[in-house]
Structure 1
Amino acid sequence: MTNARAAVFASGTGSNFRAIMETDNLLCDVVLLVCDKPGAAVMEKAEKFGVPTFIVNPKDYGSKANYERVLLEKLHETDVTWIFLAGYMRIVGPTLLGEFPARIINIHPSLLPDFPGLDAIGQAYEANVGSTGVTVHYIDDGIDTGPIIAQEEVPVNLDDTKEQLTERIQQVEHKLYPQVIQELVKENR
Structure 2
Amino acid sequence: MKSKNIRLAFYVTGSALRLLKLLKRNSVVIKDTVLVVNDDIPDVRLNALLSKNDIPYIEVNYRDLGLISDQKNIFISNLLLEKFNEYDIDYCFCFGGRILKGNLLRVYKNRIINFHPSILPSFPGIKSIDQALHKTSFLLGNTAHFIDEGIDTGPVIMQSILHRKKYATYESILGLQIPMIEQIYRWIIDNRLITINNSVDIKGADYTQTIFYPKLEVK
Instruction: Give the alignment's TM-score, normalised by structure 1.
Output: 0.84
Q: Deviations over 1:125-148 (max 9, x none)?
A: 111111111111010011111010
Q: How far did 1:170 drift? A: 2.0
The residue aligned with 1:75 is 84
Aligned pair count? 182
The residue aligned with 2:163 is 155
Give me the whole-angstrom Cα distance separating, in 2, the residues matched to 1:144 and 1:80.
22
CA contact (8 A) 1:137 1:150 kept: yes
Q: Note if 1:18 corresponds to 2:17.
A: no
The residue aligned with 1:96 is 104
CA contact (8 A) 1:27 1:182 kept: no
Residue identity in the other structure for 1:153:
I
Residue identity in the other structure for 1:119:
K
The residue aligned with 1:121 is 129
The residue aligned with 2:34 is 31
The residue aligned with 2:182 is 178
CA contact (8 A) 1:132 1:154 kept: yes
Give me the whole-angstrom Cα distance separating, in 2, the residues matched to 1:57 and 1:115.
28
Q: Deviations over 1:87-130 (max 9, x none)?
A: x0001102210110110001011100011111111111111111
CA contact (8 A) 1:121 1:165 kept: no
In structure 2, relative to structure 1, the CA distance for the partners of 1:46 and 1:184 (3 Å cut) is farther
Give me the whole-angstrom Cα distance separating, in 1, the residues matched to 2:98 and 2:74.
13
Identify the range of structure 1 (54-63 vs 96-105) with the bigger mean alpha-carbon deviation.
54-63
CA contact (8 A) 1:26 1:182 kept: no
In the alignment, structure 2 segments of 5+ residues that lack a partner are 194-219
CA contact (8 A) 1:134 1:172 kept: yes
Residue identity in the other structure for 2:132:
A
CA RMSD between the two structures: 2.5
In structure 2, relative to structure 1, the CA distance for the partners of 1:11 and 1:27 (3 Å cut) is closer
CA contact (8 A) 2:117 2:143 kept: yes
In the alignment, structure 1 segments of 5+ residues that lack a partner are none
Give me the whole-angstrom Cα distance separating, in 1, the residues matched to 2:156 and 2:110.
11
Q: How far did 1:187 drift? A: 1.3
Of the three residues 52, 55, 60, the one matched with 2:59 is 55
